[in-house]
């Protein structure tokens, strides 16, 4: 199983920007923790970060047929990007939205997510641990999807045998 982690604008500045909100941990450190979890659970993981909306849309679309799950922090695009929302919806890959800060305890404009309604769920407000929880969630979702597909295939095989 493969998970693609997509990071939006300014997340490359973690560890430098607004540490009182986002903490001192760098994005590379968060990715290293996620990589360790993925290795322990036999999950292939890939990371992508861009400050450009179109590149994020392109990367989501590239996940089609390549990834079993997506973890995305659209950052500021959470509140503005219909294009990212539409890309998530179009690929129909289980997606978990994640945020370091509790967006609901911040400015009013940050409290509306355009992307969350097309995601399996949203995790926010736990700092870097939000990403760990997102990993747990996406692995669980991917396992459920896999089990459902296997059950459907078994049912189809059984029906095929009965029809012969």
Alpha helices, DSSP H only, in 45-106? 53-62, 82-91
pLDDT value for 22: 77
User: What per-residue confidence (pLDDT) applies to 70?
Assistant: 98
Q: Decide if 131 is catalytic.
A: no
The pLDDT mean for the chain works out to: 93
Domain with residue 79: its CATH number is: 3.40.50.9100
C-alpha 3/C-alpha 11 separation (Å) is 19
Q: What is the mean pLDDT of residues 63-73?
A: 97
* pLDDT for the residue numbered 106: 76
Span 20-66, pLDDT tens digits? 777 888 999 999 999 999 999 999 999 999 999 999 999 999 999 99
- Tell me whether residue 99 is one of the annotated catalytic residues: yes
- Residue 64 and residue 93 in contact, taking contact as beta carbons nearer than 8 Å: yes
Residue 11 and residue 94: Cα distance in Å, rounded? 22
Q: What is the pTM of this model?
A: 0.90
Pick the catalytic residue from 22, 77, 131, 132.
Answer: 22
Nearest CA among 58, 54, 111, 117 for reference residue 89: 117
Total structural domains in the chain? 1
Range of the domain at 79: 2-163
Identify the active-site residue in 16, 77, 79, 99.
99
């Amino acid at each position: 199983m493969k998970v693609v982690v997509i990071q939006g604008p300014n997340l490359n500045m973690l560890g430098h920007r607004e540490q009182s909100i986002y903490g001192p941990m760098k994005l590379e450190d968060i990715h290293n923790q996620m990589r360790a979890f993925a290795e322990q659970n036999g999950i292939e993981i890939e990371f992508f970060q861009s400050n450009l909306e179109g590149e994020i849309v392109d990367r989501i679309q590239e996940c089609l047929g390549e990834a079993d799950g997506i973890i995305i922090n659209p950052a500021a695009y959470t509140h503005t990007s219909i294009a990212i929302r539409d890309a998530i919806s179009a690929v129909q890959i289980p997606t978990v939205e994640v945020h370091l800060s509790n967006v609901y305890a911040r400015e009013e404009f940050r409290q509306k997510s355009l992307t969350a309604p097309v995601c399996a769920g949203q995790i926010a407000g736990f700092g870097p641990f939000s990403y760990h929880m997102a990993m747990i969630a996406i692995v669980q979702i991917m396992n459920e999807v896999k089990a459902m597909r296997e059950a459907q295939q078994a049912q189809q095989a059984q029906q095929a045998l009965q029809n012969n």
